[in-house]
Amino acid sequence: MKEALLYQKMGDNKVRCVLCAHRCLLTEGKVGVCGVKKNVGGTLYTLVYDKIVSAHVDPIEKKPLFHFLPGSTSFSIATVGCNFRCLHCQNYEISQMPKDEKRIGGTSMPPEDIVAAAHQYGCESISYTYTEPTIFFELAYDTAKLAHQKGIKNVFVTNGYMTEEALLMIRPYLDAANVDLKFFNEKTHKRVCGASRDPVLDTIRRMKEMGIWVEVTTLIIPTKNDSDEELEQIAGFIKEVGPETPWHVSAFHPTYKMLDLPRTPPATLYRARKIGIDMGLRYVYTGNIPGDEGEHTFCHHCKAVLIHRYGYEVVENHIRDSRCPYCGAVIDGVTMGHREHENVRNL
C-alpha cells in the first residue's frame, strides 16, 4: 500500500479523502466509495498504486480524442475500481471488481515501467482510462510527471467527478481529457451513476479554463437521455463552455445491470449530431457505427472533409499547420496537421 494524496486527518482516526467529489469521510478500517482507498490507523492508503489490471497500445481516436494528436497511439492503463456505479458500465468487470468480487486484481507495474513501455512502443501519450483515473490518482500523478520529462503527453478519460484540488495538482502534467457527460437530468444521473451531475459540469469548465484540451462524450441510451430536450441541454452546455469543444455521441449496447434496453439505433445518433451542429458546435462525432460520415472531421467554415476516419483508423488527414487547406480556417485542437504514421495516408 502507498499513502494516498489529497486527504485530511480529521481526528479520532478519521480521514476525509479529497480526490473526488464524494469527499468520503472514513473511519478506521473503512474503504471509500471507489473501493480502493482505505483508512488504516488514521492514514489513507491507495490499494492500487502499481496494480495495473489493463494495459494496451490504442489509437488516440479510441479514447475518443479526435482533435489531439490524430493518428497517434496512446499507451493506455487502468487499475480496478471506480467512484461511480453506472448500471450500464461497459468495463464493469474491472471498474466494479472491488465491490462485486471483493478483491483487488492487477499486476505490478510502477510508473517507471509504464513510461518505459510507452516509449518502447512509440506512443506519443499515456492514457489513464478504462476505469476512472481519479481513483488511481497517485499512480497517474507520478507517471504523468515522469512522462512529461520524456516528452510524452498525458490524457485522462474520465467521468469528471474529481475535486478542484485534484485537478489543480495534476494540471501541470495533464494535456488532454475526454470527459463523459452521461446525463443532463440530475435525477437520472444520480439514479444510474450513483453521483451528482454538477461536479462533472464544474470539471469540464475548469479544464477548459486551465487550458487542458477537452472533448466530451455522451453515450446515448434509449429512453434515458435520447430526448431532444436533453440532447439540446447537453449541446447547449458544451457550446457555453466553447463551441470548439468536440462532442462525441456514441451508441449504447445492453450490458451489466442495464440489459432491458435496446441498442441505440443509428437514427438516434444522426439526430443527436444534427442537434449539436444546429446549436452551433463546430465538431460533433458519431461513435460505435464504423463507416459513418460522422466519424470524419469537417471544416467548420467550408464544410470540406479534412480527416477521413474508418472506426479508429485515420485514413486521410488533409490538415496542414492546424488549418483547412481549402479555406484557411483554423481547425481547433493539438497538432492537427501532417503526421507520419503507417496508418495515415496524407495527400
Q: What is the pTM of this model?
A: 0.95
Low-confidence ranges of the chain (pLDDT < 50): 340-347
pLDDT, position 338:
53
DSSP 255: B
Give exposure, 31-54, as e/b (b: 16+ Cβ within 10 Å).
Answer: bbbbbbbbbbeeebbbbbbbbbbb
Give exposure, 265-293, as e/b (b: 16+ Cβ within 10 Å).
Answer: eeebbbbbbebbbebebbbbbbbbbeebe
Domains of the chain: 2-46 (no CATH), 51-294 (3.20.20.70), 296-347 (no CATH)
pLDDT digits (tens, 9 = 90+) for 236-250: 999 999 999 999 999
DSSP 125: E
Helices 228-241 & 266-278 angle (0-180, nearest 10): 40
Give the helix/strand (H/E) hosting 274. Answer: helix 266-278
Give the helix/strand (H/E) hosting 286. Answer: strand 284-287
Nearest to 150 by CA among 178, 115, 175: 115
pLDDT, position 336:
84
pLDDT digits (tens, 9 = 90+) for 2-29: 999 999 999 999 999 999 999 999 999 9
Q: Which amino acid is at 173?
A: Y
pLDDT, position 1:
84
**Local structure of 211: helix, strand or coil:** coil
pLDDT digits (tens, 9 = 90+) for 26-45: 999 999 999 999 999 999 99
Q: Within 13 Å, how many C-alpha atoms sit on residue 179's CB side?
A: 27
Say which residue the cell 504523468 belongs to. Answer: 144
pLDDT, position 20:
98
